[in-house]
């Protein structure tokens, strides 16, 4: 099974390769396309219709020869739905499965966000998933975390995310989701609980969608 990934940060390649080391992915292969310019456009001018169309076109190109395509940047996630309507190959935004898993946890839940540009699309995604099952998921931006990431301080970034997750657990949240793929490795630094992450559930969802299409 070949899963094509569209990233906006080089560091997400290692994140997804690490997530795909489990036994469930033995017969899977990931390919990676990195387009940091797409996130830069969002940061500079917002998520416009023209940009959405551009990203959807890139995703459609990636479907050639692929069994599934994953858009790993939550800031541009809505473009996945546009592309998905134009192909039989599953095209998923990586955080969609995370939103559903969080909403279906049946527990008091919160999703933590690092990048300000993804606050609104992430909130909308998680709210929709929660409303579908009659529950709620709170949304919280981790202040200054994205500045550390963009400045290349990955250790500081992950430590800040882990601290925010531990605070959430201490405040009584039973399910804590880390919205962005870049946050995944913070899980190993958490002491209050184990947050849900998008690479794990996103890859599982892509494989399931591909198998369902083939059956």
pLDDT tens figures, 171-183: 999 999 999 999 9
Q: Tell me the average pLDDT across 181-205.
A: 93
Structure tokens at 81: 């739905």
Dihedral in degrees, nearest 10, Cα atoms 137, 199, 34, 25: -160
Topology annotation, domain 2-94+200-214: Rossmann fold (3.40.50)
pLDDT over 80 at 45, yes or no: yes
pLDDT over 90 at 146, yes or no: yes
pLDDT at res. 26: 62
Give the whole-angstrom CA distance, residue 162 versus residue 78.
Answer: 27
What is the dihedral sign for C-alpha 143, 113, 69, 85? negative
Confidence band (pLDDT; 50, 70, 90) for 3? very high
Smallest Cα–Cα separation from 87: which of 63, 54, 55, 51? 63
pLDDT at res. 200: 85
Q: Kindly report, residue by residue over 103-139, the tens digit of the pLDDT.
A: 999 889 999 999 998 898 899 999 999 999 999 999 9
pLDDT at res. 21: 85
Q: Tell me the average pLDDT across 60-86.
A: 94
Q: What is the pTM of this model?
A: 0.84
pLDDT over 70 at 62, yes or no: yes
pLDDT at res. 27: 67
pLDDT at res. 24: 59
Give the whole-angstrom CA distance, residue 163 versus residue 171.
Answer: 12
Mean pLDDT, the chain, whole residue set: 93
pLDDT at res. 25: 67
Residues of the chain with pLDDT > 70, as a percent, come to 97
Domains of the chain, by residue range, sit at: 2-94+200-214, 96-197
Contact between residue 119 and residue 139 where contact means Cβ atoms under 8 Å apart: yes
pLDDT at res. 1: 87
Q: Tell me the average pLDDT across 32-36.
A: 97
Structure tokens at 199: 């690479």
pLDDT over 70 at 99, yes or no: yes
pLDDT at res. 57: 98
pLDDT at res. 8: 94
CATH topology identical between 2-94+200-214 and 96-197: yes
State the SS3 of the chain. CEEEEEECCCHHHHHHHHHCCCHHHCCCEEEEEECHHHHHHHHHHCCCHHHHHHHHHHHHHHCCCCCEEEECCHHHCCHHHHHHCCCCCCEEEHHHHHHHHHHCCCCCEEEEECCHHHHHHHHHHHHHHHHHCCCCEEEEECCCHHHHHHCCCHHHHHHHHHHHHHHHHHCCCCEEEECCHHHHHHHHHCCCCCCEEHHHHHHHHHHHHHHHHHC
Indicate the class that CATH gives domain 96-197: alpha beta
pLDDT at res. 23: 61
Nearest 5 degrees, angle CA 110-CA 116-CA 117? 110
């Amino acid at each position: 099974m070949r899963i094509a990934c569209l990233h906006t940060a080089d560091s997400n390649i290692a994140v997804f390769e690490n997530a795909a080391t489990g036994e469930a992915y033995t017969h899977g292969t990931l390919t990676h396309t990195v387009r940091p310019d797409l996130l830069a456009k969002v940061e500079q001018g917002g998520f416009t219709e023209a940009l959405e169309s551009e990203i959807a076109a890139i995703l459609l190109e990636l479907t050639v020869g692929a069994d599934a395509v994953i858009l790993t940047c939550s800031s541009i996630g809505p473009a996945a739905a546009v592309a998905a309507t134009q192909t039989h190959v599953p095209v998923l935004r990586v955080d969609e499965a995370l939103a559903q898993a969080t909403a279906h946890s049946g527990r008091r839940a919160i999703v933590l966000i690092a990048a300000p540009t993804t606050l609104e699309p992430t909130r909308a995604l998680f709210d929709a998933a929660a409303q579908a099952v009659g529950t709620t998921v709170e949304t919280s931006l981790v202040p200054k975390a994205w500045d550390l990431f963009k400045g290349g301080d990955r250790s500081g970034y992950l430590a800040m995310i882990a601290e925010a997750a531990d605070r959430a657990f201490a405040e009584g949240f039973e399910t804590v989701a880390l919205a962005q793929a870049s946050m995944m490795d913070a899980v190993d630094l958490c002491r209050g609980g184990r947050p849900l992450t998008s690479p794990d559930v996103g890859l599982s969802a892509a494989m399931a969608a591909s198998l369902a299409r083939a059956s």
